[in-house]
């Protein structure tokens, strides 16, 4: 019988919660949440401007991304533009606010990663990330 302390779901949830709370605390100075950073990261890093592509990359439902984008638009981080050739499609554009915070936000995220992973060797970090990617890719 598997005890709760050895249950992979419990272990992953606990680890994710700890990192999420630390990331949330450090991103608060920019008035963005970790998931909003994820959206911005998709645009900054991968030039994604379609909500469906961003949702798929972040592993969230289309209905969830819609609410996230609405809150981001209300904060002045993005603009949602309806495609003039097909009104069913939305194009996301960055505002000056989100363009101006890219470097400081990326710096904070790098520092969070560094702090969370400082107890591990480079080899352990590579193994951990590889294992997490394998779990993420599972078709369960």
The arithmetic mean of pLDDT across residues 123-127, rounded, is 97
Question: Is the CA virtual torsion 109, 16, 22, 54 positive or negative?
Answer: positive
Q: What was the pLDDT predicted at 98?
A: 97
Q: List, for residues 51-103, the tens digit of each pLDDT value.
A: 999 999 999 999 999 999 999 999 999 999 987 777 778 999 999 999 999 99
Q: What is the DSSP code (8-state) at residue 92?
A: E
Which CATH number is associated with domain 18-137? 1.10.10.10
Q: What was the pLDDT predicted at 46?
A: 96
- How far apart CA 106 and CA 45 sit, in angstroms, is 11
The three-class DSSP label of residue 94 is strand
Q: Which residues contact 48 (CB under 8 A, 6 or more apart)?
A: 42, 54, 57, 92
Q: pLDDT tier at 111 (50, 70, 90 boundaries)?
A: very high
Q: pLDDT tier at 140 (50, 70, 90 boundaries)?
A: confident
Q: What was the pLDDT predicted at 85?
A: 77
Q: List, for residues 31-54, the tens digit of each pLDDT value.
A: 999 999 999 999 999 999 999 999
Nearest C-alpha neighbor of 81 from the set 70, 72, 91: 91
Q: What was the pLDDT predicted at 1?
A: 62
Q: Where are the domains of the chain?
A: 18-137
The arithmetic mean of pLDDT across residues 112-127, rounded, is 97
């Amino acid at each position: 019988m598997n005890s709760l302390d050895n249950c992979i779901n419990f272990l992953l949830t606990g680890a994710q919660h700890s990192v999420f709370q630390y990331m949330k605390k450090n991103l608060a100075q920019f008035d963005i949440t970790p998931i909003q950073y994820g959206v911005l990261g998709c645009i900054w890093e991968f030039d994604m401007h379609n909500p469906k592509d961003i949702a798929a990359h972040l592993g969230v439902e289309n209905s969830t991304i819609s609410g996230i984008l609405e809150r981001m638009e209300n904060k002045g981080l993005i603009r949602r533009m309806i495609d003039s050739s097909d009104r069913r499609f939305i194009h996301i554009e960055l505002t000056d606010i989100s363009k101006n915070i890219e470097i400081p936000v990326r710096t904070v995220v790098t520092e969070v990663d560094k702090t969370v992973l400082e107890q591990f060797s480079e080899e352990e970090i590579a193994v951990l990330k590889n294992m997490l990617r394998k779990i993420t890719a599972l078709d369960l």
